[in-house]
Amino acid sequence: MSLFGVLFVIGLLPLGYFLLVAWSSGESFAMLAIYLAVGLTVVFFGALFLAIGALFLLPKRKAPSSAEKPGEKGLPPVKPSGDPERTFKNTVHTISRVIGLGTLALLALVGIGALVIGAWPISVIVAVLAVFALPLVVIVPRVLRDAAVVVPQTEVWIVFLLGKFRRVLRPGPRILIPWLEQVVAHESMRWRQEDIVANKTTTKDKISVDVPGVLLWKPDDKHPELPFLMVENIDETLRRTGEASLKQIASVSTTEELVEAAPTTIERLNSIMMEQVQAFGVQFALRISDTIFSPELQVAISTEKRAHYEASAKKIRADADTYVMQQLKAAVKAQFPHASEEWLGAAALQLKALDTIQSSTQGTGAVSLFSLGELLTRKMPAYQPSEGEAAPQPGGQST
């Protein structure tokens, strides 16, 4: 026998006792028929309500076999037990069912008590109320369960009421008005990144460059509904606006300012962006990540830099040679203090040539022997010695 049948039979026992007492007290058959009809109605719906309540409060679910997993062979996927939204919905559902079943149980007790004391009009009213309360016990908990939601910490939900913006649901457990309020969007409150680039932009110094940038943005905390209400596709709109802002700032900046990404340049860039998106209700940060030149310009810049470095290296070598010549000239002058400047310069040049020859043969195993006197007299201006001083004479052969 089903649970409903057991409860119905149990309910018939007090009803039969009441009818027996009423018949023995001399009640007419018409009144007994009314008592019977009302009593059967109350017992029927009381047993039905209690059976439904037992099924809801004590659900029996068949666990899948070890060979079957949730989500396979038509089995519905099982949410994790720690899901806060599922827990909140089940709590609301259970509370509403307990309240409904308690109300029906109270109606049943009032109805049976009215029959016992003979107040049959009250019993009729209670029976009618029970008939109308039965659908509410089944429907209301399910409706409340669907209306109970939990908004995640990283989101806000946009709610419309009859097609018009109503409110914003912040993180935490919330209740919607059934059938009237509708969640139309889930807005993430985390920062999002968009890679943008301003292609083939001519700078202030007439150079064509590509300027890539990074755009970070999120809905404003005070009015997170504005991006959804104001713009159809906020991601695409911000991306195109960021590219236009990069083009505008690149056109009024030099390549050096773009490459260095100076704070003043970044500040002007964000000011340009703010003028265009301030009504969208977003927080953003726009940065220049690089400056890309055309291949031809890169070759030209590389050639110019290389030439600049080579010129600098030659200048450094020339300065070093000048310094060496000055030191050699000073050494010769220390030996021949009365020599002319022309003769000292020629002697220093000869010594520099000697140093160059020695450097070129170093590490080759070759040996060179020089006569200092011959070096100082060969192709040299005539030396005018002072009184008592002899001119340098050749002292040997050179190899």
Question: How far is CA 68 from each of CA 62, 74, 78, 116, 165, rounded to the nearest angstrom?
Answer: 12, 10, 13, 55, 45
Q: Beta strands of 291-364 (E only): which ranges? A: 292-293
Q: Examine the domain organization and report whether 137 and 83 are in the same domain.
A: yes
Q: Examine the domain organization and report whether 103 and 176 are in the same domain.
A: no
Digits of tens for pLDDT over the chain (399 positions)?
466 667 767 777 777 777 777 777 777 777 777 777 777 777 777 777 776 666 655 545 554 454 444 444 454 554 444 566 677 777 776 776 666 666 666 666 566 555 555 555 655 666 666 666 666 666 667 777 778 888 888 899 999 988 899 999 999 888 888 888 889 989 999 999 888 888 888 888 787 788 888 888 999 988 898 988 888 888 898 888 888 888 888 888 877 777 776 677 788 888 888 888 888 888 888 888 777 766 665 665 667 666 677 777 778 877 777 877 777 777 777 777 767 777 777 777 777 776 776 666 666 666 666 555 555 555 555 555 555 555 555 444 443
Give the model's pLDDT for residue 381: 56
Give the model's pLDDT for residue 145: 74
How far is Cα 35 from Cα 121, in angstroms, rounded to an integer? 10
Give the model's pLDDT for residue 13: 72
Q: Examine the domain organization and report whether 138 and 16 are in the same domain.
A: yes
How far is Cα 184 from Cα 34, in angstroms, rounded to an integer? 54
Which residues are 202's β-sheet partners? 208
Q: Examine the domain organization and report whether 246 and 137 are in the same domain.
A: no
CB contact set of 264 (below 8 Å; sequence gap of 6+): none
Q: Examine the domain organization and report whether 351 and 289 are in the same domain.
A: no
Q: Examine the domain organization and report whether 41 and 146 are in the same domain.
A: yes
**What's the domain range around 203?**
192-293
Residue at 29 is within a domain: yes
How far is Cα 323 from Cα 273, in angstroms, rounded to an integer? 58
- The CA radius of gyration of the chain, in Å to the nearest whole number, is 51
Q: Examine the domain organization and report whether 38 and 144 are in the same domain.
A: yes
Q: Which of 139, 150, 123 has its CA nearest to residue 41?
A: 123
Q: Examine the domain organization and report whether 179 and 229 are in the same domain.
A: no
Q: Beta strands of the chain (E only): which ranges? A: 148-151, 155-161, 164-169, 172-175, 181-188, 192-202, 208-219, 282-288, 292-293
Q: Examine the domain organization and report whether 171 and 51 are in the same domain.
A: no
Residue at 27 is within a domain: yes
Give the model's pLDDT for residue 156: 92
Residue at 337 is within a domain: yes
Q: Examine the domain organization and report whether 182 and 224 are in the same domain.
A: no
Residue at 69 is within a domain: no
How far is Cα 32 from Cα 118, in angstroms, rounded to an integer? 11
Is residue 209 within 8 Å of residue 255, measured between CB atoms? yes
Indicate the number of domains in the chain.
Answer: 4
Residue at 171 is within a domain: yes
Q: Examine the domain organization and report whether 159 and 142 are in the same domain.
A: no
Q: What does DSSP assign to residue 176?
A: -
Other Cβ atoms closer than 10 A to 194: 17
Q: Examine the domain organization and report whether 287 and 247 are in the same domain.
A: yes
CB contact set of 380 (below 8 Å; sequence gap of 6+): 343, 346, 347, 350
Q: Which of 331, 109, 396, 83 has its CA nearest to residue 339?
A: 331
Residue at 308 is within a domain: no
